[in-house]
């Protein structure tokens, strides 16, 4: 059934827009001198992912390397998840994230049971998440859930006997978004993934726009960044909140021994940052609003020459299109790569690493 | 393509929650001494199922036995419904029932065309169900429909040239729910399915909470129970309506020669019942409401030692979680089994029994 | 994997309703003396279809011939689009058109990523269509989009590196609807598709109810009809607008050198028409409304003996059911055929013509 693996078969989808040939880092850089250690990924079989702490750093790196292979090769003919059913339960609607996961499942020949929205579904008001978890056991082999409530992931998991991937739980976490974020950073600076200490890069200065204590994508990005604390010189959190962390995160920051600061003045800090994690919303203590103009970036912003911008997308005016065709644009690579790093995670959790083609570069 | 059938490959999904090892009846009891008679199921090919009367008792039993096999084995590698398209047309939304059917189709490698909801779809206001039926002919090989109107199933069928499964039509019927109900009862008491008269069980006393004349799941359960009248000692209908049946059902009850009574006092009858069919809503003559507290069950209710509880789910407070880890809980087995009995029905209707693996136990 | 091609395996779905055996033109007429020229269709590989002008007449004819083969044979066992993912992005909801496309994809074993509706999705208000196009690149191999805005197709395509099929853009076009319309006409009069000039049919008088300048399905039908101008004697546009065309369409009509007239009196023109393209709505300068009773047809209308009626469906009272079992009913054939002509287009655009079974009649 399987066809021969062909290098670069996907290359047509990887071409950057005209005039921007060098913008997107090449996935091949991530694995050509650094073959995948499948035994690390085998440990993910059957596991649930509720937050970033459910990953080890080496797992993040191996997932990124497998993602890079999947981004470069055509995996569909191998039917990796044949016969597996995945439920995408988006009780809080998100077309972008839902499609990213569903595309990953379908590309691997898995099946999707889709709940695109909580409001119109027949899941009766008042039915408990514990009962919904019990129901999922019969329907599928894995659940990917987004929900407005922070305790939703823990509650649905109580009766669940199949793995759960948290795709966003209230003000909790969004661990696969940070996988996508870091996959983009590792493609951009492959030496971050290298076990060879002589390849260590200069430490990075990370800027994070947002309130990690209450914005789940920001929190997960920060937590995953702490895993790479030895590669980071400083974290600058740009927020209108005086304390954007909360107790738990402050403890995490201290444990990691990382240098960090908080500011509400983005423009005056831009020139110091190697990586800027942007966002389209701000958390203001008890609600969200779109960002003010002082938190906008465009091609005239005072960016460092080699700085890159991440953005979980969708974006509004805070990230101007004039940046799209510049080398600062890592956000398109980040969005594109999200599908592949999710594929890597799905293969690992569903125990189907043994169906990968033999030609992929792995540690022997 | 097909892999060797492996017994108990699905066992991971069948394990009851910790501390409740003996709660769920084992599917294997239903078929180990009682192989499946495929010729009975072959008669279902191409048939539509609008109500319980579209089944014969022997078909219900053979469907349950095939479901038990499917619950115990891993069927996905056999691609039983490869190439078949099933439309799930839920003009009345119901995530639970829709996913149960879609999971059944996908596990067999069929394809799903999904209409998750009537309100937001483009099916224009005013388009007739007859025209919608005509449209379905080109799109799929089978239609599963839920609709708010009782005459909807008959109307859509008028121009339909592919089989139709009624998944709930107004105050009409819900025949596959009662298949799931009786599959759970047959797993619990396999002797009910045995052709060996010496294995006849003690007759059961059935309690049914609800108004069969106007609640479709309750009506279908009652009608299917009448098929097993020789195994039932008495039916106790618990309803706040003086006449919960209507003329047609009274005629059916009389024809079956079954002993029955109506009461509005559940607590005083609980101790007599072997099976209690619960519900989360009450019909009060012209509308539905949630049940009062006098219709609630919990672990302190005066249940018979070996009594089991069924519930079509989703549940609210009428069925307390304190019962979940007791031997009275047949409702989780019932919900779990619904996917497999629907698989059995889909295989039979689509004429794909010949694709079942040869290892399954069938009458030679 | 592939099974032997069996002629007429689909015949069960093709049977007309009882008492109407001769109503539906047989697809086989279209290809039995006129084998498919695959080299014409190979030119469609990787192309986007935004309007009718993206087709050449010979492509329309070859697509119709391939559709006729697909309508007559069972194509599912060939898994033509195995591994391909198609996004159906219906930001303007339309269950009928969405299911028609999704059925076509699934019958070919492609995968579907479905956005059934713009309103409830998580595509954030304010996200640009250009960014949505960028997102689609990572998710799928083809995009089928419907949107309320006329410039939507051009905008989403700006960053798109996979083919786009326009399934309706505001008051723009709906090119695959007109493919379905002309596929029905070609089945009805196969000589229209014949390269043999001696088989030329009598020229047809076309009646079009609606305002081509502002109704996309009507505009696309008119534009495709102009491709067949040598087979058309006259176009009668029935509209309550004095100028139902606008400048661009008038230029097209003049360039085609076709005789046309505009009237608001349908009943007095019915008897002249060989083909009547009906509609359920009227455009009145700045809005749409349901048609008045003077624009209704029923079995007592003054139709020419051999005239046929097209209707993009869904219909309301303008097209009476009393016509369904008459030979004037080409609209059921048209609706049925839409799935197959879309299959033909999907196979061609995705470059999978080489996976068609060898038994299909092609030019050698």
Please indicate if any CB of chain C lies within 8 Å of the CB of A150.
no
Please indicate if any CB of chain C lies within 8 Å of the CB of B1.
yes
- Statement: residue C125 has pLDDT above 80: no
Confidence of residue A122 (pLDDT cuts 50, 70, 90): very low
CATH of range C176-335; options 3.40.1360.10, 3.60.15.10, 3.40.50.1370, 1.10.10.10 = 3.40.50.1370
Q: Across residues C72-96, what is the average pLDDT?
A: 95
- A65-94 pLDDT per residue, tens: 999 999 999 999 999 999 999 999 999 999
**Lookup: tokens for B235:** 């039916």
Q: Give the range among B14-18, B70-74, B247-251, C134-138 with minimum mean pLDDT.
A: B14-18
Contact call for residues A150 and A172 (beta carbons, < 8 A): yes
- A305-361 pLDDT per residue, tens: 999 999 998 898 899 999 999 999 999 999 999 999 999 999 999 999 999 999 999
Confidence of residue A125 (pLDDT cuts 50, 70, 90): low
Instruction: Count CB atoms within 10 A of the CB of residue A80.
Output: 24
pLDDT at residue C16, as a whole number:
45
Give DSSP secondary structure letters for A161-215.
-S-EEEEEETTS--HHHHHHHHHHHHHH-GGGG-S-GGGPPPPEEEEEES-TTT-
Confidence of residue B20 (pLDDT cuts 50, 70, 90): very low
Confidence of residue C199 (pLDDT cuts 50, 70, 90): low
- Look at B127 and C316 and tell me if their CB atoms are within 8 Å: yes
Across the interface, which of A17, A74, A339 has its CB nearest the CB of C138?
A339
- C171-192 pLDDT per residue, tens: 999 999 999 999 999 999 999 9
pLDDT greater at residue A12 or residue C131: C131
pLDDT at residue B97, as a whole number:
95
Burial class (CB in 10 A: 0-12, 13-18, 19+), B358: exposed
Give which of C194, C174, C138 is closest to C49, Cα–Cα: C174
Give which of B117, B92, B114, B119 is closest to B102, Cα–Cα: B114
Across the interface, which of A1, A84, A115 has its CB nearest the CB of B95?
A115
Give which of A79, A99, A90, A87 is closest to A141, Cα–Cα: A87
pLDDT at residue C364, as a whole number:
81
Distances (CA, A) of C144 to A240, C80, C95, C109: 42, 18, 13, 17
How close is the nearest chain A Cα to the Cα of B206, in Å?
Answer: 25
* Angle at CA of residue A30, ends A26 and A32, nearest 5°: 100
Equal fold, B11-174+336-355 vs B176-335: yes
Confidence of residue A286 (pLDDT cuts 50, 70, 90): confident
Q: Across residues B46-66, what is the average pLDDT?
A: 98
pLDDT at residue B14, as a whole number:
38
Q: Give the range among B190-204, B213-227, C1-15, C52-66 with minimum mean pLDDT.
A: C1-15
- Look at C138 and A13 and tell me if their CB atoms are within 8 Å: yes
- CATH architecture, domain C23-174+337-355: 3-Layer(aba) Sandwich (3.40)
pLDDT greater at residue B178 or residue C24: B178
Q: Across residues C337-355, what is the average pLDDT?
A: 98
Give which of C56, C52, C57, C59 is closest to C36, Cα–Cα: C59
- B272-320 pLDDT per residue, tens: 999 999 998 888 777 888 888 889 999 999 999 999 999 998 898 899 9
pLDDT at residue C197, as a whole number:
65
- Statement: residue A290 has pLDDT above 90: no
Strand partners, A262: A237
- B26-38 pLDDT per residue, tens: 999 899 889 999 9
Contacts of A229 (CB under 8 A, 6+ apart): A256, A257, A258
Place of tokens 């990586």: A275
- C126-138 pLDDT per residue, tens: 789 999 999 999 9
Give which of C104, A88, C84 is closest to B102, Cα–Cα: A88
Nearest CA in chain C to A101: C139
CATH number corresponding to A20-172+337-355: 3.40.50.1370
Q: Across residues A208-227, what is the average pLDDT?
A: 96
- Look at C95 and B159 and tell me if their CB atoms are within 8 Å: no
How close is the nearest chain B Cα to the Cα of A161, in Å?
Answer: 6
Q: Across residues B96-123, what is the average pLDDT?
A: 87
Across the interface, which of B97, B117, B332 has its CB nearest the CB of A134?
B332
pLDDT at residue A197, as a whole number:
65
Is A175-335 a CATH 3.40.50.1970 domain? Answer: no
Q: Across residues B33-62, what is the average pLDDT?
A: 97
Confidence of residue B17 (pLDDT cuts 50, 70, 90): very low
3-state secondary structure of B326: coil
pLDDT at residue B200, as a whole number:
65
**Lookup: tokens for B123:** 């099916």
Give which of C237, C231, C216 is closest to C186, Cα–Cα: C231
The fold of B11-174+336-355 is: Rossmann fold (3.40.50)
3-state secondary structure of B209: strand
Contact call for residues B175 and B220 (beta carbons, < 8 A): yes
Could you state, in order of their start, the residue ranges of all structural domains in chain A? 20-172+337-355, 175-335
Please indicate if any CB of chain A lies within 8 Å of the CB of C38.
no
Instruction: Count CB atoms within 10 A of the CB of residue B322.
Output: 12
pLDDT at residue C284, as a whole number:
78
Give DSSP secondary structure letters for B160-199.
--S-EEEEEETTS--HHHHHHHHHHHHHH-GGGG-S-GGG
Confidence of residue C150 (pLDDT cuts 50, 70, 90): very high
Q: What share of chain A is helix, strand, coil (3-state, %, to 5)?
A: 40, 15, 45
pLDDT at residue A364, as a whole number:
81
CA distance A29 to C75: 42
Instruction: Count CB atoms within 10 A of the CB of residue C104.
Output: 29
Q: In what order do the strands lie in the sheet with A111-115?
A: A111-115, A85-90, A142-147, A164-169
Work out how many CB contacts closer than 8 A connect A with B.
83
pLDDT at residue C263, as a whole number:
96
pLDDT at residue B345, as a whole number:
98
Please indicate if any CB of chain A lies within 8 Å of the CB of C313.
no
Confidence of residue B117 (pLDDT cuts 50, 70, 90): confident
pLDDT at residue B280, as a whole number:
87
- Look at A83 and B96 and tell me if their CB atoms are within 8 Å: no
Identify all chain C residues contacting B131, using CB atoms and an 8 Å cutoff: 313-315
- Statement: residue B19 has pLDDT above 50: no
pLDDT at residue B15, as a whole number:
45
Identify all chain B residues contacting A87, using CB atoms and an 8 Å cutoff: 99
What mean pLDDT is reported for chain C?
90
pLDDT at residue B21, as a whole number:
42
- B148-189 pLDDT per residue, tens: 999 999 999 999 999 999 999 999 999 999 999 999 999 999
Chain C, residues 105-144, CB within 8 A of chain A, namely: 111, 113-116, 120-124, 126-128, 130-131, 134-135, 137-140
Please indicate if any CB of chain B lies within 8 Å of the CB of C289.
no
Q: What percent of chain C stands above pLDDT 70?
A: 90
Q: Give the range among A128-137, B151-160, C277-286 with minimum mean pLDDT.
A: C277-286
- Statement: residue C202 has pLDDT above 90: no
Give which of A321, A337, A64 is closest to C137, Cα–Cα: A337
């Amino acid at each position: 059934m399987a066809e021969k693996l062909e290098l670069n078969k996907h290359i047509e989808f990887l071409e950057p827009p005209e005039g921007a040939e060098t913008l997107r880092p090449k996935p091949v850089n991530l694995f050509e001198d650094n073959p995948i250690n499948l035994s690390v990924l085998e440990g993910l079989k059957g596991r649930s992912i509720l937050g970033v702490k459910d990953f080890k750093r080496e797992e993040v790196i191996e997932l990124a390397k497998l993602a890079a292979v999947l981004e470069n090769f055509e995996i569909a003919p191998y039917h990796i998840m044949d016969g597996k059913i995945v439920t995408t339960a988006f009780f809080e609607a998100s077309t972008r994230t839902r499609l990213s996961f569903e595309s990953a499942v379908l590309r691997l020949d898995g099946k999707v049971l889709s709940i695109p929205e909580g409001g119109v579904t027949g899941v009766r008001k008042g039915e408990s998440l514990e009962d919904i978890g019990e129901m999922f056991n019969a329907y599928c082999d894995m659940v990917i859930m987004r929900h407005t409530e922070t305790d939703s992931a823990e509650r649905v998991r109580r009766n669940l006997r199949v793995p759960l991937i948290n795709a966003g739980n209230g003000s909790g976490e969004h661990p696969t978004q940070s996988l996508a974020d870091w996959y983009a950073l590792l493609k951009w600076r492959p030496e971050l993934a290298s076990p060879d200490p002589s390849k260590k890069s200069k430490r990075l200065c990370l800027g994070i726009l947002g309130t990690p204590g209450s914005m789940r994508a920001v929190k997960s990005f920060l937590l995953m960044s702490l895993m790479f604390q030895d590669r980071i010189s400083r974290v600058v959190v740009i927020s209108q909140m005086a304390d954007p962390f909360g107790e738990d995160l402050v403890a995490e920051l201290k444990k990691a021994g990382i240098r960090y600061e908080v500011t509400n003045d983005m423009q005056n800090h831009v020139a110091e940052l190697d990586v800027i994690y942007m966002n389209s919303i701000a958390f203001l203590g008890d609600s969200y609003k779109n960002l003010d103009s002082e938190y906008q970036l465009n091609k005239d912003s005072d960016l460092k020459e080699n700085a890159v911008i991440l953005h979980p997308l969708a974006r509004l005016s805070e990230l101007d299109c004039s940046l799209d065709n510049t080398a600062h644009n890592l956000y398109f690579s980040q969005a594109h790569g999200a599908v592949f790093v999710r594929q890597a995670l799905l293969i690992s959790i569903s125990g189907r690493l043994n169906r990968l083609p033999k030609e992929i570069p792995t540690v022997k």
